[in-house]
Chains A and B, each alone.
Chain A
Amino acid sequence: MISKSKKGLISLVLAVTILTTFSNFAMTQVKELHIAINKSPWLPAFEKLTKMYEGETGVKMVLHVFPFMGLYEKELAAVTTASKTYDLMNMNEIWGPFFYAGRYLTPLKEIDPEFTVPSHLMQFFWEGYWDDKVHYQAPTGVLYGIHVNGNIHLLQYREDKYKEAGLPTPPETWDDVLEAARKLFDPPNFYGYVIRGARGDPIFYNSMTIRHAYNGYMFRDPLKGDFTITVNDEKNVEAWEMYARNLNEYGPPGVGNIGQTEMMGLLASGRALQAIVVSAAFPHLDDPEFSAVPFKIQFAVPPKGRGGDHSSTVAGWTMVVPRFISDERKKAALDFLKWSITQKPQVEYTKMGGVPVSTTVFQSELMRDPKYRFLKATQDSIPYFSSMPLIPECAQIRDVMGLHLNRALIEEEGVRESLDKTAQEILEIMRGAGYKGVTIAPRS
């Protein structure tokens, strides 16, 4: 008797709870958006962006700010346990395919079938897209994220020193860069070229720009599904020889452990002539507290390689919507993304130190402000955007390649040897991951 009434009571309570929760979900609008993001020079700009959105729509924006060095672990823990905490996650381009292939992210078309990418959005070598058929980032694929930060590699060089030495600016080719480095090299006071040579990601990214400029790529034609390994072909070897041997001759000591901080420090303290640096670092370079040479560093499209063209490696951040949250929250998240790439927010964002993703900023008054001189170089770089092949295995490839490149830099391995070994390791990784018929391209 008692137990029966108890049961009835419990089911009643349950039913009421379920009903109210469901109706709550259906009825109420999303009032808060939770965003996982990392510390960075452009974080204040992003904060400004969210405040603007808050003012316009009344949706409260909550930023969960994590250290850069822990964001990946944090997001991995969140997605693998189907966490519902975040509506938007900021993601380094290399995690995208891994997370998307893991079915942790929502394709944007699934949230809003009408959604198309506006034409003024810069196209970052199809980062944010994934085509399952070719197993690659392809325009035919599904869009799973939108860039919030259009970070790219630019050549950053001391224009004043170039002019003093009577060298033409900006340097057109890598040989011009080498010539300037040789001419202005004056150790230990001034170094001709800084390679970000630390093991792993740093040297991998930093060397990619010159390899692509020499037409040296990792795979033959991944867009067509051809994953034949070409990382040790003559073009790659030539580029890498130029970088690790010729240019490095005019570099600072301790290249084997130079990270982003050291590279930026050498430039900003007026100790170095030039380097390939990300555009997102621009707010630091004119800051008198950080830089001894404010407004002396000029930005340019990364130079041409022999037998190649310019090439600018994209290194942006993408906002993605996790799969586990409710449809309303997904929609609200996408609404914010759509708004964030329109002109007004983009201009404000750039003013605060962010790197824009929309070409509409190039029509704004910022183009005439020397503070934002990187915009011109960015605009000129658009035709030359390039990226690493963003397959889920790329994180692993990046790590082993970064090891061999670093070894070549400290002369533990030869230039050709390091690329040969990289090719061998990539082959093993690709075979282990189940790619059929992958081989190393024979030397011509």
Chain B
Amino acid sequence: MRELTHRSITTFLMTLPLVIILVFFSIYPFVSLIKMSFSSFIVGKGYEYVGLKNVWRFIEDQRAWESIGRTFLYVFVSVSGEFVVGLGLALLVKGKFKGVIRTMVIIPMLVAPIAVGIIWRLMYDPVFGIINQILAKIGIQGKNWLADPQIALWSVIIVEIWQWTPFIFLILLAGLESLPKECYEGAKIDGASSWQTFVYFTIPLMSPIIIVALFFRTMECFKAFDKIWILTGGGPSDVTEIISIYIYRVSFRHNLLGYGAFLALIMVGFIVIYNLSYMGFLRRKI
């Protein structure tokens, strides 16, 4: 009993450095975020409290709601795609292809986000882009990947999946490789097929890691900004305007810094709701 308390005090102390960092560097931004959310930025006076004005504005703001809906679609499709490809790659690589080849998989994630936007925009270009030039060589009429409102969002999602599949891959691979070997041995002796091993042993054992990977990828995906801003700036029309683009436009183009902060705060709620329902669904499945 005494030892146990001693142990819990030590473990508590272990979290202390984290707590200190959080206290020093996150309380002020939080407080000022909340203050900003219920204020309006008035030129020359700074932030002025406006009560619930931003809330009413948000409820009536059709562009905000549309972009939130679009963001859900963007995040769902991207993260699902990344998960399927990433898991597949991790299973293929597990225990094989050490070193350089294995690390080559993660290259897309390592390219600077701004360069990702610029280079893909160049590749997608209907006149100079390599994609349409290659398609033309084999006799296919290329599309206006980023200028056609029907397909622009999908073109952007392809870049997202390309860039971030490695993230899921890396985490799942680490998860797979740190699984205790004994379980596999046991399963093999019981004569389970590799599919059965996968469904009944691998997936359940991996579930904490899978959930963390998906959870964080989802969260980051909601915040995707740099590359979309460069690829399309939210256009054409507003077909690629996800919420991060809209918040940026509100804050730095419309100069409504208070309302921008409010949207950023509200989005935390949306991310939580989305993640809880997504994870709840996964938990039931796993």
Write 21 A-B pairs (CB below 8 A) sorted by A numbering. Answer: A98-B43, A101-B44, A188-B127, A199-B236, A200-B234, A254-B146, A255-B147, A256-B147, A256-B149, A256-B236, A258-B147, A269-B128, A392-B255, A395-B255, A396-B255, A396-B256, A406-B236, A410-B148, A410-B149, A410-B237, A412-B149
Interface pick from A72-80, A114-122, A374-382: A72-80
Name the one of B43, B147, B253 contacting A254, with C-beta atoms under 8 angstroms: B147
Contact B254 A403 (CB under 8 A): no
The answer to whether B127 and A257 touch across the interface, beta carbons within 8 angstroms, is: no
Query: Which B-chain residue is minimally distant from A67 (CB atoms)?
Result: B114
A103 sits at the interface (CB 8 A): yes
A80 CA to B128 CA, complexed, in Å: 42
The minimal Cβ–Cβ distance linking B46 to chain A, given in whole angstroms, is 7
Is there a chain A Cβ closer than 8 Å to B275's Cβ?
no
Chain B interfacial residues counted at CB < 8 A: 27
Question: How would residues 166 to 201 of chain A score, 1 for a CB under 8 Å from any chain B CB and 0 otherwise?
Answer: 000000000000000000000010000000001110
Give the shortest distance, in Å, between B104 (CB) and chain A (any CB): 30
Question: Are A396 and B235 touching (Cβ within 8 A)?
Answer: no
In angstroms, Cα B215 to Cα A184, docked, is 55
Residues of B contacting A200 in the complex (Cβ-Cβ under 8 angstroms): 233-235, 253
Q: Is B232 an interface residue (CB 8 A)?
A: yes
With both chains docked as a complex, state the minimum distance between the C-beta of B255 and any C-beta of chain A, in angstroms: 6
A residues less than 8 Å from B144 (CB atoms): 253-254, 256-257
- Minimum Cβ distance to chain B for residue A401 (Å): 12
B235: contacting residue among A199, A252, A395, CB under 8 A = A199
Complex Cα spacing A409 to B44, Å: 37
Once the chains bind, are B146 and A392 in contact (CB under 8 Å)? no
Given contacts A101-B44, A257-B232, A395-B253, contact A199 B237 (CB under 8 A): yes
B275 to chain A, nearest CB (A): 29
CA distance A188 to B127 in the complex (A): 8
Q: Tell me which residues from 99 to 137 in chain B have a Cβ below 8 Å from any Cβ of chain A.
A: 125-128
Q: Is the CB–CB distance between A399 and B249 below 8 Å? A: yes
Interface hub of A80, A257, A399 (most chain B Cβ within 10 A): A257
Within 8 A of A (CB), among B232-263: 232-238, 249, 252-256
Contact check, A410 vs B43: say whether CB atoms are below 8 A apart.
no
Interface extent on A, as a size class? Answer: 35 or more
> Could you say which of B125, B145, B236, B237 contacts A262, with CB atoms under 8 Å apart?
B125
B118 to chain A, nearest CB (A): 9
- Quote the shortest CB–CB distance from B80 to chain A (angstroms): 26
Question: A329 — which chain B residues lie within 8 A by C-beta?
Answer: none
Interface residues of B (CB under 8 A from A): 43-44, 46, 125-128, 144-149, 152, 232-238, 249, 252-256
Give the 4 A-B residue pairs with the shortest CB-CB distance, closest first: A199-B235, A256-B236, A254-B147, A256-B147
B234 and A199: CB pair below 8 A?
A: yes
Asked if A36 is at the interface of the complex by the 8 Å CB criterion, the answer is no
CA A73 – CA B43 in complex, angstroms?
A: 15
A198 interface neighbour in B43, B148, B235, Cβ under 8 Å: B235
The interface residues of chain B lying within 8 Å CB-to-CB of A266 are: 127
A271: interface (CB < 8 Å): yes
- Which applies to chain A's interface (DSSP): helix, strand, loop or mixed? helix
Contact residues of A between 73 and 130, Cβ < 8 Å to B: 73, 76, 80, 98, 101-104
Asked if A407 and B253 sit within 8 Å, CB to CB, the answer is: no
Chain B residues, CB < 8 A from A198: 232-233, 235-236
A392 partner, pick from B43, B145, B232, B235, beta carbons under 8 A: B43
Which one of A256, A392, A412 has the greatest number of beta carbons of chain B within 10 Å?
A256
Contact B235 A256 (CB under 8 A): yes
Given A395-B253, A396-B253, 18 more A-B residue pairs with CB atoms under 8 Å apart are A102-B43, A103-B44, A188-B127, A198-B232, A199-B232, A199-B234, A199-B237, A254-B147, A255-B147, A256-B144, A257-B152, A265-B128, A271-B127, A392-B43, A392-B255, A399-B253, A407-B236, A410-B149
Nearest-Cβ distance from residue A115 to partner chain B, whole angstroms: 24
Q: Are B125 and A254 in contact (CB under 8 A)?
A: yes
In the complex, the chain B residue whose C-beta lies closest to that of A97 is B43
The smallest C-beta distance from B176 to any residue of chain A, in angstroms, reads 40
Q: A198–B233 Cα gap in the complex (Å)? A: 8
Q: How far is the CA of A256 from the CA of B151 in the complex (A)?
A: 12
Q: Which residue of A lies closest to B152 (CB)?
A: A257
Neighbour of A73 across the interface among B238, B249, B252, B254, CB < 8 A: B252
User: Could you say which residues of chain A place their CB within 8 Å of the CB of B238?
Assistant: 199, 403
Contacts of A20-75 to chain B: CB distance below 8 A: 72-73
Chain A's closest residue to B253 (CB) is A399
Min Cβ gap A422→B in Å is: 14
CB-CB nearest in chain B for A403: B238
A254 touching B126 in the complex, CB below 8 Å, given contacts A72-B252, A80-B46 = yes
